[in-house]
Amino acid sequence: MALSRKVSLSAGAKYKGGGPMLAWVLHRISGLGIIIFVTLHVIASFFTQQFGSDLGISINIIYESIYFQLFIVFCAIFHGVNGFRIIVLDIWPRLIRYQKESTWLEWFVILPLYGLTVFIMIQRFLEG
């Protein structure tokens, strides 16, 4: 079901989709981020468990860094909450009229959850 879209990057950047478009873009980015992390983690634990090899440990160093963790926590929280919003809108299609409001509501859930998590993570990181 490949769609042919002849849209240039500049035209795409000027498209004013607002909150729902941002949610769509971030849903893709966060989904791909989770795929990258989970694939790396499965490979690393497989090599560590089966062969005790250093490959697993060197992959661990990448995703145990604080920057990767902050990114992946955002991906997990955003993808979960936004996915739940999509499911709710798909189950009750009449709510699609309020999809802009639903993206605001979603950020009211995500920002406290992510903010608190980041606070604790950075506190732990600075403690060492």
Partner 1 sequence: MRSRAMPKPSWNLDYMMWVFTRLSGLSLILLIVIGISAGLLMGARSQMDLGTLMRWTFFPNSNHVLDSEIPDLYLWANGFWQIMQILVVFFAATHGFNGLRVVIEDYSLSGFWQIFLRFLILLLWIFSIMVGIYVILGS
Q: What is the secondary structure of 11-43 as a DSSP string?
A: HHHH---HHHHHHHHHHHHHHHHHHHHHHHHHH
Q: Which of residues 26-65 bind partner 1 (CB under 8 A)?
A: 28, 31-32, 34-35, 38-39, 42-43, 45-46, 49-50
How many of the chain's residues bind partner 1 (CB under 8 A)?
31
Taking residue 62's Cβ as centre, other Cβ atoms within 10 Å add up to: 11
Report, in angstroms and rounded to the nearest whole number, the Rg of the chain calculated over CA atoms: 19
Q: Which of residues 59-118 bind partner 1 (CB under 8 A)?
A: 73, 76, 80, 83-84, 86-87, 90, 117
- Tell me if 44 sits within 8 A of 59, measured CB to CB: yes
Residues that bind partner 1 (CB under 8 A): 1-3, 5, 7, 15, 28, 31-32, 34-35, 38-39, 42-43, 45-46, 49-50, 73, 76, 80, 83-84, 86-87, 90, 117, 120-121, 124
